[in-house]
Chains A and B, each alone.
Chain A
Amino acid sequence: MALTEKVASPLLYLQAQTRWRPVEIAFWLATLLPYVLFPNYLSLASQIAITALFALSLDLILGYAGIVSLGHAAFFGVGAYTAGLISKHGWGEPLTGLAMAAVAAGLVGYATSFVICRFRHLALIMLTLGFGLLLAELANSAGWLTGGMDGLQGIHTWKLLGYFAFDLYGYAAYTYALAVLFLLFLFARRLIHSPFGLSLRGIRENPIRMPAIGAPSRAHIRTIYTIAACIAGVAGALLTQTTETVSLDSLGFERSAEVVVMLVLGGAGRLYGGLVGAIIYMVARDQFSGVVPQYWYFWIGIMLVGVVVFLPNGILGGLAKIASRWSRP
């Protein structure tokens, strides 16, 4: 039938876009390698998985909706402290702890989203920076709640699903972090390929045109900001539960800036950029952990300048360019 033929093609084309590529499957299979190849580094691997989740949450607002946030660690910190406080006061069950952290971070995200959605450019950057710094100051001052500079003490995470204990070897921690990362990744992937995901890309591409096609941009931004806050909160809670500590640097400016660097390094707006960036950054930092902080930041600075000038779409963007040049005869 002519009509079916005509309309089958765009649908099939779009469906083909959402299919899992072989390189994606390879990536996720590779995440199982640490069990086999680096069994001594499983706690680092779980740190990487947690950071990757955090970077993924930032990608949703920065890479897809175009919101430049220099204060995203606020939600990470809220999640981390929520999980820590719940555990400290007697309830150490990990999965419900995650859920409560997500809700807490989501509430803070929802509240701030009403302000965030109304601004762009410098005002927006300043507001995200301001909120992040404000929350960090609050956490610092409220030592009775947060433990101040010393952080929270007395966190003990119960066994996962009543069976798997978190031990020094890190098997449980890595499995836990990786599983949560994968599940939330699936969620993000689905969201990106939904009509809402398309709207987000529209906002990023041309925020002025959106109202001109009847789009309620602000409502969209509030939604994604809240979702990203929830996911960041989960990442923070994971960190607390697997390391059984939480301190002020979970919501400091350094953490906000670092996650932006990682995302940009990997390539924003490609879903995997945050993951790739996190892996490279964390591995590099671990390898150079003996280096004095200023010199580490020196190389980060060089890298940032290099990425902006030579690799504007990050590593994944650069790889995509090479791949498309190769496929052209």
Chain B
Amino acid sequence: MLPPVFGVLFDGLAFGMLLFLLSVGQSVTLGMMNFINLAHCSFAMLGGYVTVVLMTRYGWPFFATLPCAFIAAAVVSVGFERTLYRRLYRASDLDQVLLTIGIVFISVAVAAYVFGTDQQPLQLPAYLRSSLTFMGTRFAVYRLILLGLALAITLALVLGVEFTRFGARIRAAVDNERMARGLGIDVDRTFAVTFALGSGLAGLGGALAIEIIGLDPSFALTYLVYVLIVVSVGGLGSISGSFAAAVVLGISDVAGKYYIPQLGAFLIYLVMISLLMWRPLGLFGRR
């Protein structure tokens, strides 16, 4: 019989993986262009709503909706990047924060108007709602699949960044943008593609999140804080940093709510502040 801590760790890990998917794109694009995009979770929310619509209105199976969530978020984000964001790459932190918060507010209002303010119900097939029991502890199948999927994506990201030409361009642009341009790397295009990928991953995360944390219009704001914590604690531009920070944050949050519920969200804010004070550039940040 495993002690309950394993269950807590498992749930925390699953939540952490979700946070990672939601945050990794933000971390890399921030590290590359220093562009603070607070609307990142709006793209995640979009992915979630795409999944809901495809499943409830068109009867698609859950897994078939996931690529669509990814693509929809990626495409919409590119639209924003081309029209609005690229004017502000050299702008002040404040301007970037304000513009993207404005977009968040707009997205929340649009979602509320179109879908209403209630939680979106999701009818997953029975096998996804079941759980496996191992040594007396129940492990939800959904979370197992989420864990597997996230780890596979992480591996693909790490390998891609380390071993492909495109990945080399990403690393160069994050390391030293001016130098990368000087070497002939088209940083703007690299950034646009990375941005689309990151937003797509967020959309995927949003779709996967419905079963675990629910989906309503306030998603874009509520989970923004978590994402920002992961990104700032993990270090800008670092995939491994985001991974580590997401895991720490996920486990802290779940464990905190399980063992000391009176503390509420208090614990993660304290963890973030302490970690930032210890390492202001994040655990793995270099800038």
Q: Do chains A and B touch in the complex (CB under 8 A)?
A: yes
- Which residues in A have some Cβ–Cβ distance to B below 8 Å? 62, 68, 70, 115, 118-119, 121-123, 125-127, 129-131, 133-134, 137-138, 140-141, 257, 260-261, 264, 268, 292, 294-295, 297-298, 300-305, 307-309, 312
B94 within 8 A of A: yes
B236 contacts across to A, CB distance below 8 A = 122
16 A–B contacts from the bound complex (CB under 8 Å): A122-B36, A125-B97, A126-B232, A130-B229, A137-B264, A137-B269, A140-B264, A141-B263, A264-B94, A268-B94, A294-B113, A294-B217, A295-B113, A300-B105, A301-B101, A307-B98
User: Would B30 and A122 count as touching, CB distance under 8 A?
Assistant: yes
User: Would A294 and B109 count as touching, CB distance under 8 A?
Assistant: yes
Interface residues of B in 266-287 (CB under 8 A from A): 266, 269-270, 272-273, 276-277, 280-281
B158 contacts across to A, CB distance below 8 A = none
**Given known contacts A126-B272, A294-B112, A304 and B105 CB-to-CB distance under 8 angstroms:** yes
- Report the minimum CB–CB distance from B65 to chain A (whole Å): 25
User: Would A131 and B103 count as touching, CB distance under 8 A?
Assistant: no
**Given known contacts A126-B228, A298-B109, A304 and B269 CB-to-CB distance under 8 angstroms:** no
* Complex-state Cα separation, A298 to B220, whole angstroms: 13
* Complex-state Cα separation, A264 to B87, whole angstroms: 18
**Given known contacts A62-B94, A133-B265, A126 and B30 CB-to-CB distance under 8 angstroms:** no
CB nearest to A307 among chain B residues? B98
* Complex-state Cα separation, A123 to B265, whole angstroms: 19
B88 contacts across to A, CB distance below 8 A = 308
B95 within 8 A of A: yes
* Complex-state Cα separation, A130 to B277, whole angstroms: 12
Could you give, for residues 60-86 of chain B, a 1 whenever the CB lies within 8 Å of some chain A CB and a 0 otherwise? 000000000000000000000000100
User: Would A303 and B102 count as touching, CB distance under 8 A?
Assistant: yes
3 A-B pairs closest in CB distance: A304-B102, A301-B105, A298-B109
Our pick among B93, B95, B105, B106 for the contact of A121 (Cβ within 8 Å) is: B93
User: Would B265 and A304 count as touching, CB distance under 8 A?
Assistant: no
A294 contacts across to B, CB distance below 8 A = 108-109, 112-113, 117, 217
User: Would B276 and A123 count as touching, CB distance under 8 A?
Assistant: yes
* Complex-state Cα separation, A141 to B256, whole angstroms: 14
A125 contacts across to B, CB distance below 8 A = 36, 93, 97
CB nearest to A138 among chain B residues? B266
B104 within 8 A of A: yes
Total contacts A-B at CB 8 Å: 119
B101 contacts across to A, CB distance below 8 A = 257, 301, 304
B262 within 8 A of A: yes
User: Would A119 and B106 count as touching, CB distance under 8 A?
Assistant: no
User: Would A119 and B265 count as touching, CB distance under 8 A?
Assistant: no
User: Would B280 and A119 count as touching, CB distance under 8 A?
Assistant: yes
* Complex-state Cα separation, A133 to B222, whole angstroms: 12
Our pick among B84, B104, B112 for the contact of A309 (Cβ within 8 Å) is: B84
User: Would A297 and B269 count as touching, CB distance under 8 A?
Assistant: no
CB nearest to A301 among chain B residues? B105
Our pick among B94, B107, B229 for the contact of A68 (Cβ within 8 Å) is: B94
* Complex-state Cα separation, A294 to B272, whole angstroms: 29
- Report the minimum CB–CB distance from B266 to chain A (whole Å): 4
**Given known contacts A297-B105, A303-B102, A134 and B270 CB-to-CB distance under 8 angstroms:** yes
Could you give, for residues 134-159 of chain B, a 1 whenever the CB lies within 8 Å of some chain A CB and a 0 otherwise? 00000000000000000000000000
* Complex-state Cα separation, A308 to B103, whole angstroms: 12
User: Would B276 and A133 count as touching, CB distance under 8 A?
Assistant: no
* Complex-state Cα separation, A273 to B84, whole angstroms: 25
* Complex-state Cα separation, A309 to B87, whole angstroms: 8
CB nearest to A265 among chain B residues? B98
* Complex-state Cα separation, A62 to B277, whole angstroms: 21
User: Would B269 and A130 count as touching, CB distance under 8 A?
Assistant: yes
* Complex-state Cα separation, A70 to B263, whole angstroms: 22
B172 within 8 A of A: no
* Complex-state Cα separation, A224 to B103, whole angstroms: 31
B266 contacts across to A, CB distance below 8 A = 134, 137-138, 141
B132 contacts across to A, CB distance below 8 A = none
B110 within 8 A of A: yes
B128 within 8 A of A: no
A62 contacts across to B, CB distance below 8 A = 94
* Complex-state Cα separation, A127 to B99, whole angstroms: 20
User: Would B102 and A300 count as touching, CB distance under 8 A?
Assistant: yes
* Complex-state Cα separation, A292 to B108, whole angstroms: 12
Could you give, for residues 194-219 of chain B, a 1 whenever the CB lies within 8 Å of some chain A CB and a 0 otherwise? 00000000000000000000000100
* Complex-state Cα separation, A172 to B146, whole angstroms: 61
